[in-house]
Protein backbone atom coordinates (compact mmCIF):
# COMPACT_ATOMS: atom_id res chain seq x y z
CA UNK A 1 0.00 0.00 0.00
CA UNK A 2 2.92 2.35 0.69
CA UNK A 3 4.14 1.89 -2.89
CA UNK A 4 0.77 2.99 -4.20
CA UNK A 5 0.70 6.08 -1.99
CA UNK A 6 4.18 7.07 -3.15
CA UNK A 7 3.38 6.52 -6.82
CA UNK A 8 0.28 8.67 -6.53
CA UNK A 9 2.29 11.76 -5.59
CA UNK A 10 3.20 12.41 -9.19
CA UNK A 11 0.45 13.50 -11.51
CA UNK A 12 1.86 12.04 -14.71
CA UNK A 13 0.01 9.42 -16.69
CA UNK A 14 2.14 6.64 -18.18
CA UNK A 15 0.57 6.46 -21.63
CA UNK A 16 3.23 3.99 -22.78
CA UNK A 17 1.95 1.65 -20.10
CA UNK A 18 -1.64 2.15 -21.23
CA UNK A 19 -0.73 1.40 -24.84
CA UNK A 20 1.06 -1.78 -23.78
CA UNK A 21 -1.80 -2.72 -21.48
CA UNK A 22 -3.48 -4.66 -24.28
CA UNK A 23 -0.95 -7.46 -23.70
CA UNK A 24 -1.66 -8.84 -20.24
CA UNK A 25 0.41 -12.00 -20.60
CA UNK A 26 2.94 -10.67 -18.07
CA UNK A 27 0.31 -9.68 -15.50
CA UNK A 28 -0.81 -12.06 -12.79
CA UNK A 29 -2.50 -10.62 -9.71
CA UNK A 30 -1.55 -12.68 -6.62
CA UNK A 31 -4.05 -14.25 -4.21
CA UNK A 32 -4.52 -13.45 -0.51
CA UNK A 33 -5.14 -17.18 -0.01
CA UNK A 34 -1.48 -17.82 -0.89
CA UNK A 35 -0.21 -15.11 1.48
CA UNK A 36 -1.85 -16.49 4.62
CA UNK A 37 -0.02 -19.04 6.76
CA UNK A 38 -2.92 -21.49 7.06
CA UNK A 39 -2.94 -23.94 9.98
CA UNK A 40 -5.63 -26.54 10.58
CA UNK A 41 -7.53 -25.68 13.77
CA UNK A 42 -6.22 -22.10 13.79
CA UNK A 43 -8.64 -19.19 14.34
CA UNK A 44 -8.74 -16.20 11.96
CA UNK A 45 -10.63 -12.90 11.94
CA UNK A 46 -12.71 -12.42 8.80
CA UNK A 47 -15.50 -10.52 7.14
CA UNK A 48 -17.88 -12.21 4.73
CA UNK A 49 -17.92 -10.77 1.21
CA UNK A 50 -20.40 -12.25 -1.23
CA UNK A 51 -22.61 -15.19 -0.25
CA UNK A 52 -24.02 -17.58 -2.83
CA UNK A 53 -25.07 -20.07 -0.16
CA UNK A 54 -23.49 -21.56 3.00
CA UNK A 55 -21.37 -23.86 0.84
CA UNK A 56 -20.11 -21.18 -1.55
CA UNK A 57 -19.12 -17.74 -0.30
CA UNK A 58 -16.11 -15.43 -0.16
CA UNK A 59 -14.30 -14.14 2.92
CA UNK A 60 -11.82 -11.31 3.51
CA UNK A 61 -9.06 -11.85 6.08
CA UNK A 62 -7.20 -8.56 5.54
CA UNK A 63 -10.34 -6.48 6.05
CA UNK A 64 -8.60 -3.36 7.43
CA UNK A 65 -6.20 -3.33 4.48
CA UNK A 66 -9.16 -3.72 2.12
CA UNK A 67 -10.84 -0.66 3.65
CA UNK A 68 -7.71 1.45 3.08
CA UNK A 69 -7.25 0.03 -0.41
CA UNK A 70 -10.86 0.69 -1.41
CA UNK A 71 -10.57 4.32 -0.27
CA UNK A 72 -7.42 4.72 -2.36
CA UNK A 73 -8.81 3.20 -5.55
CA UNK A 74 -11.93 5.37 -5.33
CA UNK A 75 -9.90 8.54 -4.72
CA UNK A 76 -7.55 7.68 -7.59
CA UNK A 77 -10.25 7.02 -10.20
CA UNK A 78 -12.46 9.89 -9.06
CA UNK A 79 -9.53 12.20 -9.78
CA UNK A 80 -7.95 10.52 -12.82
CA UNK A 81 -10.45 7.98 -14.10
CA UNK A 82 -11.07 9.76 -17.39
CA UNK A 83 -7.43 9.24 -18.35
CA UNK A 84 -7.78 5.49 -17.77
CA UNK A 85 -11.09 4.85 -19.50
CA UNK A 86 -10.78 1.70 -21.61
CA UNK A 87 -11.71 2.03 -25.30
CA UNK A 88 -14.62 -0.22 -26.21
CA UNK A 89 -12.67 -1.87 -29.00
CA UNK A 90 -10.07 -3.35 -26.61
CA UNK A 91 -12.53 -4.64 -24.02
CA UNK A 92 -12.40 -8.43 -24.07
CA UNK A 93 -12.83 -11.48 -21.86
CA UNK A 94 -10.21 -12.25 -19.15
CA UNK A 95 -8.94 -8.66 -19.13
CA UNK A 96 -8.15 -7.10 -15.76
CA UNK A 97 -9.82 -3.76 -15.25
CA UNK A 98 -11.35 -1.29 -12.83
CA UNK A 99 -15.09 -0.75 -13.08
CA UNK A 100 -17.52 1.78 -11.66
CA UNK A 101 -20.75 0.37 -10.29
CA UNK A 102 -23.23 1.84 -7.79
CA UNK A 103 -21.08 4.97 -7.55
CA UNK A 104 -17.87 3.21 -6.46
CA UNK A 105 -14.76 1.78 -8.16
CA UNK A 106 -13.61 -1.84 -7.90
CA UNK A 107 -10.89 -4.04 -9.35
CA UNK A 108 -12.12 -6.91 -11.47
CA UNK A 109 -11.70 -9.19 -14.44
CA UNK A 110 -14.03 -9.31 -17.43
CA UNK A 111 -15.55 -12.80 -17.46
CA UNK A 112 -18.24 -12.53 -20.09
CA UNK A 113 -19.40 -10.29 -22.91
CA UNK A 114 -23.06 -11.19 -23.55
CA UNK A 115 -24.24 -11.61 -27.12
CA UNK A 116 -26.49 -8.59 -26.69
CA UNK A 117 -23.50 -6.33 -25.98
CA UNK A 118 -24.00 -4.33 -29.17
CA UNK A 119 -27.45 -3.35 -27.97
CA UNK A 120 -27.01 -3.08 -24.20
CA UNK A 121 -23.29 -2.19 -24.20
CA UNK A 122 -22.61 -4.18 -21.05
CA UNK A 123 -20.05 -6.72 -19.80
CA UNK A 124 -19.99 -9.16 -16.88
CA UNK A 125 -17.14 -8.55 -14.41
CA UNK A 126 -15.98 -10.54 -11.38
CA UNK A 127 -14.95 -8.19 -8.54
CA UNK A 128 -12.22 -10.33 -6.98
CA UNK A 129 -11.69 -8.18 -3.87
CA UNK A 130 -15.25 -8.84 -2.67
CA UNK A 131 -16.35 -12.01 -4.48
CA UNK A 132 -19.18 -10.42 -6.45
CA UNK A 133 -20.09 -10.78 -10.12
CA UNK A 134 -21.74 -7.72 -11.64
CA UNK A 135 -22.80 -6.28 -14.98
CA UNK A 136 -21.52 -2.85 -16.01
CA UNK A 137 -21.78 -0.57 -19.02
CA UNK A 138 -18.79 -0.46 -21.37
CA UNK A 139 -18.32 3.22 -20.56
CA UNK A 140 -17.71 2.27 -16.90
CA UNK A 141 -14.70 0.04 -17.65
CA UNK A 142 -11.20 1.45 -17.02
CA UNK A 143 -7.61 0.31 -17.33
CA UNK A 144 -6.24 -1.06 -14.08
CA UNK A 145 -3.60 1.28 -12.66
CA UNK A 146 -0.22 -0.47 -12.88
CA UNK A 147 0.54 -0.51 -9.14
CA UNK A 148 -2.78 -2.23 -8.43
CA UNK A 149 -1.54 -5.44 -10.04
CA UNK A 150 0.79 -5.95 -7.07
CA UNK A 151 -1.95 -5.99 -4.44
CA UNK A 152 -3.31 -9.54 -3.84
CA UNK A 153 -6.98 -10.28 -4.49
CA UNK A 154 -8.66 -9.82 -1.13
CA UNK A 155 -11.60 -12.23 -1.50
CA UNK A 156 -10.98 -15.88 -0.60
CA UNK A 157 -13.22 -18.79 -1.57
CA UNK A 158 -14.81 -20.43 1.47
CA UNK A 159 -17.20 -23.22 2.42
CA UNK A 160 -19.02 -23.82 5.72
CA UNK A 161 -18.16 -27.33 6.92
CA UNK A 162 -20.17 -29.84 8.90
CA UNK A 163 -23.64 -29.03 7.55
CA UNK A 164 -25.67 -29.57 4.40
CA UNK A 165 -29.20 -28.80 3.13
CA UNK A 166 -32.18 -30.66 4.60
CA UNK A 167 -33.74 -33.14 2.16
CA UNK A 168 -32.65 -31.14 -0.87
CA UNK A 169 -29.89 -30.98 -3.45
CA UNK A 170 -29.63 -27.21 -3.00
CA UNK A 171 -29.79 -24.70 -0.14
CA UNK A 172 -33.16 -23.05 0.38
CA UNK A 173 -33.57 -19.30 -0.01
CA UNK A 174 -34.42 -19.10 3.72
CA UNK A 175 -31.10 -20.74 4.63
CA UNK A 176 -29.19 -18.34 2.39
CA UNK A 177 -31.07 -15.32 3.77
CA UNK A 178 -30.43 -16.41 7.36
CA UNK A 179 -26.72 -16.97 6.75
CA UNK A 180 -26.50 -13.53 5.15
CA UNK A 181 -28.39 -11.98 8.08
CA UNK A 182 -25.97 -13.60 10.57
CA UNK A 183 -22.86 -12.34 8.79
CA UNK A 184 -23.56 -9.02 7.08
CA UNK A 185 -21.33 -6.18 8.24
CA UNK A 186 -19.77 -8.19 11.07
CA UNK A 187 -16.21 -9.08 12.00
CA UNK A 188 -16.34 -12.82 12.64
CA UNK A 189 -14.04 -15.62 13.72
CA UNK A 190 -13.41 -18.71 11.64
CA UNK A 191 -11.60 -21.96 12.37
CA UNK A 192 -9.86 -23.67 9.46
CA UNK A 193 -11.00 -27.29 9.12
CA UNK A 194 -9.26 -28.04 5.82
CA UNK A 195 -8.23 -26.35 2.58
CA UNK A 196 -7.99 -27.07 -1.12
CA UNK A 197 -4.67 -25.55 -2.15
CA UNK A 198 -5.22 -26.11 -5.86
CA UNK A 199 -8.66 -24.47 -5.97
CA UNK A 200 -7.78 -22.03 -3.14
CA UNK A 201 -10.83 -22.87 -1.02
CA UNK A 202 -10.89 -22.60 2.78
CA UNK A 203 -13.26 -25.04 4.52
CA UNK A 204 -14.18 -23.33 7.77
CA UNK A 205 -16.44 -23.07 10.81
CA UNK A 206 -17.65 -19.53 11.46
CA UNK A 207 -18.64 -17.97 14.75
CA UNK A 208 -19.59 -14.64 16.30
CA UNK A 209 -18.39 -13.34 19.67
CA UNK A 210 -21.41 -12.63 21.89
CA UNK A 211 -21.69 -9.78 24.46
CA UNK A 212 -20.89 -12.47 27.06
CA UNK A 213 -17.56 -13.11 25.32
CA UNK A 214 -18.71 -16.51 24.10
CA UNK A 215 -18.43 -17.77 20.54
CA UNK A 216 -21.75 -18.59 18.90
CA UNK A 217 -21.21 -20.90 15.93
CA UNK A 218 -23.37 -19.95 12.95
CA UNK A 219 -23.79 -23.56 11.81
CA UNK A 220 -25.56 -24.32 15.10
CA UNK A 221 -28.03 -21.50 14.48
CA UNK A 222 -28.88 -22.92 11.05
CA UNK A 223 -29.29 -26.36 12.64
CA UNK A 224 -31.49 -25.02 15.46
CA UNK A 225 -33.78 -23.28 12.98
CA UNK A 226 -33.95 -26.45 10.86
CA UNK A 227 -32.39 -24.71 7.88
CA UNK A 228 -29.56 -27.27 7.72
CA UNK A 229 -28.64 -30.73 8.97
CA UNK A 230 -25.38 -32.25 10.15
CA UNK A 231 -23.40 -33.44 7.15
CA UNK A 232 -23.65 -37.20 6.81
CA UNK A 233 -20.41 -37.46 4.89
CA UNK A 234 -22.16 -39.80 2.49
CA UNK A 235 -22.09 -39.10 -1.18
CA UNK A 236 -25.24 -38.47 -3.16
CA UNK A 237 -26.36 -41.67 -4.87
CA UNK A 238 -26.71 -41.33 -8.60
CA UNK A 239 -29.73 -43.50 -9.29
CA UNK A 240 -30.69 -44.95 -12.61
CA UNK A 241 -33.76 -43.23 -13.93
CA UNK A 242 -35.85 -43.66 -17.04
CA UNK A 243 -36.71 -40.75 -19.24
CA UNK A 244 -35.69 -37.84 -17.03
CA UNK A 245 -32.80 -35.62 -15.98
CA UNK A 246 -30.55 -37.10 -13.31
CA UNK A 247 -27.72 -35.58 -11.28
CA UNK A 248 -24.18 -36.13 -12.56
CA UNK A 249 -22.44 -34.94 -9.37
CA UNK A 250 -21.94 -36.68 -6.02
CA UNK A 251 -22.47 -33.65 -3.76
CA UNK A 252 -25.09 -31.50 -5.56
CA UNK A 253 -25.23 -28.84 -2.82
CA UNK A 254 -21.54 -28.02 -3.46
CA UNK A 255 -22.37 -26.95 -7.01
CA UNK A 256 -22.12 -24.70 -8.91
CA UNK A 257 -18.46 -24.32 -7.97
CA UNK A 258 -16.78 -21.07 -6.92
CA UNK A 259 -14.94 -21.12 -10.23
CA UNK A 260 -18.16 -21.45 -12.24
CA UNK A 261 -19.73 -18.56 -10.32
CA UNK A 262 -16.66 -16.36 -10.75
CA UNK A 263 -16.48 -17.03 -14.48
CA UNK A 264 -20.08 -16.02 -15.06
CA UNK A 265 -21.02 -19.53 -16.26
CA UNK A 266 -23.72 -19.83 -13.61
CA UNK A 267 -26.43 -17.38 -12.52
CA UNK A 268 -25.63 -15.12 -9.57
CA UNK A 269 -27.52 -15.30 -6.28
CA UNK A 270 -29.67 -12.28 -7.15
CA UNK A 271 -30.50 -13.72 -10.57
CA UNK A 272 -31.56 -17.02 -9.02
CA UNK A 273 -33.70 -15.21 -6.43
CA UNK A 274 -35.42 -13.14 -9.11
CA UNK A 275 -36.08 -16.20 -11.27
CA UNK A 276 -37.55 -18.20 -8.39
CA UNK A 277 -39.81 -15.28 -7.44
CA UNK A 278 -41.26 -15.27 -10.95
CA UNK A 279 -41.85 -19.01 -11.11
CA UNK A 280 -40.58 -22.25 -9.54
CA UNK A 281 -37.57 -23.53 -11.50
CA UNK A 282 -36.31 -27.09 -11.00
CA UNK A 283 -32.61 -27.41 -10.12
CA UNK A 284 -32.23 -29.65 -13.18
CA UNK A 285 -33.10 -26.69 -15.40
CA UNK A 286 -31.36 -23.91 -13.49
CA UNK A 287 -28.09 -25.85 -13.20
CA UNK A 288 -28.27 -27.74 -16.47
CA UNK A 289 -24.51 -28.55 -16.71
CA UNK A 290 -24.80 -30.74 -13.61
CA UNK A 291 -27.57 -32.96 -14.97
CA UNK A 292 -27.92 -35.34 -17.89
CA UNK A 293 -30.92 -36.89 -19.62
CA UNK A 294 -31.49 -40.59 -18.97
CA UNK A 295 -33.33 -42.05 -21.94
CA UNK A 296 -36.18 -44.53 -21.33
Q: Which residues pair with 159 in a beta bridge?
A: 203
Delimiting residues of CATH 2.40.50.90 domain(s) in the chain: 155-294
pLDDT at 252: 57
Q: Residue 201 carries which DSSP code?
A: E
CATH T-level topology, domain 155-294? OB fold (Dihydrolipoamide Acetyltransferase, E2P) (2.40.50)
Burial class (CB in 10 A: 0-12, 13-18, 19+), 128: buried
How would residue 253 be classed by pLDDT, with cut points 50, 70 and 90?
A: low
At 207-230, the pLDDT tens digits run 998 888 888 999 999 999 999 999
What is the phi/psi pair of residue 213, to 5°?
A: 65, 30
Task: List, by residue range, all CATH 2.30.30.140 domains of the chain.
Answer: 2-30+63-150
Give the rounded distance of the alpha carbon of 102 from its chain centre.
17
* CATH code, residues 2-30+63-150: 2.30.30.140
Q: Please report, rounded to a whole number, the percentage of residues in the chain having pLDDT higher than 70.
A: 71
Q: Give the pLDDT confidence of 69-119 residue by residue, as tens digits.
A: 999 999 999 999 999 999 988 899 999 999 999 999 999 999 988 765 455
Q: Rounded distance, CA 211 to CA 50, Å?
A: 26
Amino acid sequence: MDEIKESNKGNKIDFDYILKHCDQSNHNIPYSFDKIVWKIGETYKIRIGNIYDPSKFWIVHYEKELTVFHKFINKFYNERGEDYRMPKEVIKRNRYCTVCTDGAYYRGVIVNIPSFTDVELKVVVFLFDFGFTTTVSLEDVFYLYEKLYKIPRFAIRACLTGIEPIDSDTWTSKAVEKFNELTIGKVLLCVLESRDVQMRIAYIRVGEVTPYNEIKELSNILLEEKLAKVSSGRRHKIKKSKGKLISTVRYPFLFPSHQALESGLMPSTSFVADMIKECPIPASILYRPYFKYQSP
